[in-house]
Amino acid sequence: MGKPIGIVGAAVLFVVCWSSGFIGAKLGAADASVPTVLMWRFLPLALLLAPFLRVRPVGELGRHVLIGLLSQSGYLLTVYWAIGEGVSTGTTALIDGVQPLVAAALAGPLLGVAATGRQWLG
């Protein structure tokens, strides 16, 4: 039996939203600074998700804050900065799409954890 329409719809919505980030970066970088564009990309989402926040232990909260900062500054900020500097959105999307493969390839030598065949297929 096929997937429920809600799951298919959510998957399509995810792809559209994810892909529009590169286009939004290109359009936004022409008129605003990269941090401003990122703020306006995530502020509505943060407000939408705020009612679902739960109180967490301080150590766990710190870990989530660190992950958020790294994903914003180490990942998205550099991608948006590259687009703002004139790198094409197609090139940044291609590099961005290869990132999981690079992470899987480096997990073995750096962390001593090998990716399984199923993970490579994913």
- Residue 119 in contact with residue 105, Cβ under 8 Å? no
Q: For residue 98, what are the CA distances in angstroms to 91, 101, 120, 121?
A: 11, 5, 12, 13
Average pLDDT (1-21) is 79
Quick check: 108 pLDDT over 80? yes
The reported pTM is 0.67
Model confidence over 80-93: pLDDT tens digits? 899 889 999 889 88
Q: How far apart are CA 25 and CA 40, in angstroms?
A: 11
